Chain A
Amino acid sequence: GAVVSQHPSRVICKSGTSVKIECRSLDFQATTMFWYRQFPKQSLMLMATSNEGSKATYEQGVEKDKFLINHASLTLSTLTVTSAHPEDSSFYICSANLGAEQYFGPGTRLTVT
């Protein structure tokens, strides 16, 4: 069964607004979670590593002020896309490590109009 959940699965928002995506580990604690973005027909791109109780680590080229990450508990990380623009439309996927393996949430499809 699923070990990582995401909410919402799909969201449409207007340009300039902010959108929050939640990622939860189910029945296990995840001190570290990851946020990825995937554009159509392209590969996964790691955006940031979310660390419980401390600041997220962003990959090169990812704007930390635009993609706010909060990992407030051992089972929840949130990604907020601030002042969204149409070019932010993408498939956002979180993941968490359980033991040696990494499991992905079902993803959130964001469309910015």
Chain B
Amino acid sequence: QKEVEQNSGPLSVPEGAIASLNCTYSDRVSQSFFWYRQYSGKSPELIMSIYSNGDKEDGRFTAQLNKASQYVSLLIRDSQPSDSATYLCAVRYNFNKFYFGSGTKLNVKP
């Protein structure tokens, strides 16, 4: 059974702070990792992908991957109220199939 685990939250941070979202996965052969943002009532939107160990930065977002420890994280700098959403971690185990965590709800307070 391939599992992707996330803390459901909610994670509350003040506006301007750094939000740190974490995800662990069970299968060592995983090669591709993704973060999606889902606003209430909307479908998930891809915000970051990461394939190799280390950090990947895109604007205010930084994805971090540590394959030895089997975790992937997402940092959101200078958090804004518009970042309030549920963040889904996804892991691709084979060419087609993705496995999703249950998501972490982030609240950014003005």
Binding site for B on A (CB under 8 A): 32, 34, 43-44, 46, 49, 91, 93, 97, 100-107
Contacts and interface: CB of A to CB of B under 8 A. Distances in A.
The 5 A-B residue pairs with the shortest CB-CB distance in the complex, in nearest-first order = A43-B102, A107-B43, A104-B43, A93-B43, A104-B44
A104 B46 CA distance: 8
B7 to A, nearest CB: 13
A98 to B, nearest CB: 10
Given A100-B49, A100-B92, A43 B43 contact: no
Grouping DSSP codes into helix (H, G, I), strand (E, B) and loop, the A interface class, with mixed when no group exceeds half, is strand
Interface residues of B, number: 21
Given A32-B96, A102-B90, A44 B49 contact: no
A32 B95 CA distance: 10
Contact of A107 (B42, B46, B97, B102): B42
B32 interface: yes
Given A100-B92, A101-B34, A49 B97 contact: yes
Nearest to B4: A43
Contact of A43 (B46, B49, B96, B103): B103
Interface of B: 32, 34, 36, 41-46, 49, 51, 88, 90, 92, 96-98, 100-103
B48 to A, nearest CB: 10
A104 B45 contact: yes
Contacts of A105: 43
Given A93-B43, A100-B92, 20 more contacts: A43-B88, A43-B100, A43-B101, A46-B100, A91-B43, A93-B44, A97-B96, A100-B49, A100-B51, A101-B49, A102-B46, A102-B90, A102-B92, A103-B46, A104-B36, A104-B44, A104-B45, A104-B46, A106-B42, A106-B43
Contacts of A106: 42-43
A93 B102 CA distance: 16
B36 to A, nearest CB: 8
A101 B31 CA distance: 12
A100 B51 CA distance: 10
